Amino acid sequence: MEDAHISSDLVRVILTEDQINQRLAEIAAQIDEEYRDKDVLLVGVLTGAVMVMADLSRAMTIHCSMDWMAISSYGSGTQSSGVVRILKDLNTDISGRHVLVVEDIIDTGLTLSYLVSNLRSREPASVEIMTMFRKPEAAENAVDVKWVGFDLPNEFVVGYGLDYAGKYRNLTSVATLAPHVYS
């Protein structure tokens, strides 16, 4: 869905589809170099990372395996609940594997901090993180992220996997959601 179709729901477009695609290609090339000749497992964090994971894996030139986890610290609101829950665990044994966690956005860092700790307890060869978006101003937990697509302002944004109450994930750009939508 393009932002022109829902312009009354948006305040402003922060990143265009072209900007996102260009940055994703740059990151994919760096990941290709990092994991050349290694058995890498991409672990997508559902549901937001679906867009990122699909586009990232297609932009990569090396072989990779994929698996998914669903972890949540959000309800349908705009603020983190502070409670982390595993809703879906991996189907893959990661011991001895190089794991690349693929995220849509790092906000407070609470969910990702918990996830990385959980994954490291399973004795992988390595755990690295790639996130398409990060909100540095919202960070509460320090998380070591190897690849960041874009830093975003601490505003409520939607698009390219980012949602409000399950909607707007299929927006091809990233935009600030108008307050009248969630007030």
Domain residue spans of the chain: 18-153
Q: Which range has the worst mean pLDDT, 96-105, 107-116, 150-159?
A: 107-116
Which CATH class name applies to 18-153? alpha beta
99: confidence class by pLDDT, cuts 50, 70, 90: very high
71/122 Cα distance (integer angstroms): 17
Q: Phi and psi for 72 in degrees, rounded to 5?
A: -140, 140
Using the predicted structure, report yes or no on whether residue 75 has a pLDDT greater than 60: no
In the chain, % of residues over pLDDT 70:
95
Span between the terminal Cα atoms of the chain, in Å? 23
Report, as residue numbers or ranges, the catalytic residues: 107
Find the length of the chain. 183
Say which residue, 110 or 169, is predicted with more confidence.
Answer: 169
Enter the pTM of the model: 0.91
The Cβ of residue 172 has, within 10 Å, a number of other Cβ atoms equal to: 16
Write out pLDDT tens, residues 162-182: 999 999 999 999 999 999 999
